[in-house]
Structure 1
Amino acid sequence: MSLTLLFKTITRDVAKVGFCHHVQSLHTGCQLLAAEKALLMKLRKSTGYTFINCKKALEKFDNDIKQAETWLHEQAQKEGWSKANKLEGRKAKEGLIGLFIGEKAAVMVEVNCETDFVARNEKFQQLVKDVAFATMAHHQNKTQSKQGYVKSALSGEEVCKLSVDEGASLADRVALTIGRLGENMSIKRAVTLSVPAEWGVGSYVHGGVSGQTEVAMGRYGALVVFQGGNEGEQNTLGRKLGQHVVGEAPESLGNMDDLPCGESETRLLPQTFLGDPSRTVAQFLTGQQARVLDFVRFQCGEMTSEDSK
């Protein structure tokens, strides 16, 4: 082989090796980029934060996703408190009523935001769930040694002090959600109740959020405490009574023998029953061998006695 041909062969082989090495480096780089992208997408899905913030967190902690997630939550909470202070004067009249039924116990809460758009957001709905669960845990802990009918109303300020997982307060959770969604939010109120074994709790939510199971959510909610009812039909009875309370908005209970006073009737028992306009609520209950003992109705954004103070 001539020197010229030998030189060409060596040059070609070296070029081949260099090209293969370059391709291998590109392949390794692509694999690395794909792994980092998957990690980034996982962090973004689990936290809901922006692409830029997730990328910053992963870079800060050398792709340690747990440390990155913790840092993101801390930053969002700090930012949320800052935003909460800035947005405090903005009206939050939208939101959701959350209703959670336990074993012979129930809670109903109201959590507000500025727009219906945010009320439909999964992160805001998770906040409503957190408030309902924390309120129920507080109620059960407080009533462990009590028997009979126990009912308690809590202001938004009282609910905010309740703890959620890992000792954080609901106020912290509100700030975290404000940091994520950028709207003013507040916990307005809650009611809790427990009933004796022989009593029932009816419930109904109107304008409901689809897909919710444990905590029912909507713009209107009602709890109705009742006794009796035909065997096997108590759940249906409770729902019908809840629908009536939501639809007709009674202000007081009244008595079984009260006479109706026309269309402006605000007492529950003399009202025309929503499920059967030919009878009053009292007449419907008589037919069911039942009686209503108490009820609570929440309408999202409505004025309460606390608002006028």
Structure 2
Amino acid sequence: MAKISAAQVKELRDKTGVGMMDAKKALVETDGDMDAAVDFLREKGVSKAAKKADRIAAEGLADIHVNGNTAVIAEINAETDFVAKNKQFQTLVQDITKAIATEKPADVEAANDVKMNDGTIASEITEATTTIGEKITLRRFLIVEKEDNQVFGDYKHMGGRIAVLTVLDGTEDVEIARNVAMHIAAINPRYITRDEVPQEELDHELEILKEQAKNEGKPEKIIEKMVQGRLNKWLAEISLVDQPYVKNPDVTVGQYLKENGASIKAFTRYEVGEGIEKRQENFAEEVQNQLKK
């Protein structure tokens, strides 16, 4: 058996766009013959997945897996929202999240090499890409650890379009932690408390509010008081504990937590596709292009 070098693996990856494990396997199977390895990948359908590498995957699902004192929140993307209803894709998302919780990789690159089912996360994604017919990617994940006296709260909206993971102190009631996660899914706070808002962001908002007040022609003597009032309102809107609790707007989230002897240590909110620039498709034009092929 020929010894496969890292340079050969890189060359095959550059030629085909497949993952490292797939490239290495193809070279091993073909005793290092580059052309045969390319054919091997085509025969296995992996090159079909590689052709989809330039597509934009901005849909998909977010998932949460809790295992004792460890929880993982992850986002796996596909090209269309139809795939989110595909049972194979849903199972893939769950299996990936669970595998990450078990192996605790450092980052997405390391996660792709994590063993899952009969292969790795990367190879399972490649296989699913080939079967389902859309580009699928592991976009991001976060591993969260808690203490024995803390509790996780997990909530998924629309089956995983939005996923939220919370960590609460002072209670063992999962329902309270989940209620707060539900609120976060709905209202999307940016910070737990106003004290967490960076000074740079605070100064920026203050300057905007001052300019607004000046443009409204308000007298100088009342501008400072008016700006401070608007700043406090803005801080309350972006700070979780100051927000009216979505299930009972008569109290804030902070008051709800206090009434239950709890406090929130951390939260993570994933919304599928956030921050990804989605390509705008002209459906009629796309159909016409398909008919010409």
Select 1:109's aligned residue among 74, 95, 99: 74
Given the alignment of the two structures, is residue 191 of structure 1 paired with residue 163 of structure 2, yes or no? Answer: no
- TM-score, scaled relative to structure 2: 0.64
The residue that corresponds to 2:280 in the other structure is none
Counterpart of 1:162 in structure 2 is 114
**2:151 alignment partner in structure 1:** 200
SS in 1 for 2:245: coil
Hey, what does 1:53 align to over in structure 2? none
Q: Whole-Å Cα distance in 1 between the matches of residues 43 and 190 of structure 2?
A: 40
Match of 1:239 in 2: 178
Larger radius of gyration: 1
Aligned residue-pair number: 204
Q: What is the alpha-carbon root mean square deviation over aligned residues?
A: 2.6
1:16-71: CA deviation from partner (whole Å, max 9, x where unpaired):
xxxxxxxxxxxxxxxxxxxxxxxxxxxxxxxxxxxxxxxxxxxxxxxxxxxxxxxx
Closer/same/farther in 2, CA of residues 292 and 263 from structure 1, 3 Å limit: closer
SS of match in other structure, 1:265: helix
| Residues 174-194 of structure 1: per-residue CA shift (max 9 Å, x gap) | 110011111111110111112
Instruction: Tell whether 2:285 aligns with 1:285.
Output: no
Question: Does residue 227 in structure 1 map to residue 179 in structure 2?
Answer: no
- Name the residue aligned to 1:38: none
Give per-residue Cα distances to partners, 1:205-260, cap 9 Å, x unaligned: 0001xxxxxxxxx110001101113x7xx12101101101111111111169x995
Give the secondary structure class of the aligned counterpart of 1:277. Answer: strand
Relative distance call for 1:91 and 1:264 in structure 2 (3 A) is farther
Counterpart contact for 1:77–1:176, Cα < 8 Å = no
User: After the TM superposition, which residues 119-134 of structure 1 pair with which residues of structure 2 at under 5 Å, given as runs?
Assistant: 119-134=84-99
- Deviation at residue 103 of structure 1 after TM alignment: 1.2
CA distance in 2, matches of 1:266, 1:90: 34
Tell me how far apart the structure 2 counterparts of residues 302 and 205 of structure 1 sit (CA, whole Å). Answer: 16
- Indicate which of 55, 73, 89 corresponds to 1:90: 55
- Seq. identity, %: 29
Bigger shift: 262-271 or 220-229? 262-271
Structure 2 matches for 1:33-52, cutoff 5 A?
Answer: none
Cα offset, 1:165, TM superposition? 3.1
Seen in structure 2, the aligned counterparts of structure 1 residues 76 and 250 have a Cα distance that, compared at 3 Å, is farther
In the superposition, relative to structure 1, how do residues 282 and 255 fare at CA in structure 2: closer, same or farther (>3 Å)? farther
* 1:273 partnered with 2:217: no
Structure 2 gap segments, 5+ residues each: 1-39, 198-230, 277-293
- With normalisation by structure 1, the TM-score equals 0.61
Q: Which of 115, 124, 132 is the equivalent residue of 1:181? A: 132
SS at match of 1:278: strand
Q: Compute the displacement of 1:76 (Å).
A: 9.1
Q: Which residue in the other structure is 1:78 paired with?
A: 44
- Conserved? CA contact 2:59–2:78, under 8 Å: yes
Q: Quote the Cα distance in structure 1 between the aligned partners of 2:69 and 2:247.
A: 25
Give 1:289 deviation, angstroms. 1.0
1:260–1:270 Cα contact (<8 Å) kept: no
Question: Per-residue deviation at 1:295?
Answer: 0.5
2:116 is aligned with what amino acid?
A: V
Shift of 1:120: 0.9
Deviation (angstroms), 1:264: 7.0
For residues 188 and 94 of structure 1, what CA distance do their matches in structure 2 show?
Answer: 11
With over 3 angstroms needed to count, the CA separation of the structure-2 counterparts of 1:298 and 1:76, relative to structure 1, is farther
Structure 2: how far apart are the matches of 1:126 and 1:236?
25
Unaligned runs of 5+ in 1: 1-73, 143-153, 209-217, 305-309
Q: Distance in 2 between matches of 1:77 and 1:201?
A: 45
1:298 aligned counterpart, secondary structure: strand
Q: Which residue of 2 aligns with 1:172?
A: 123
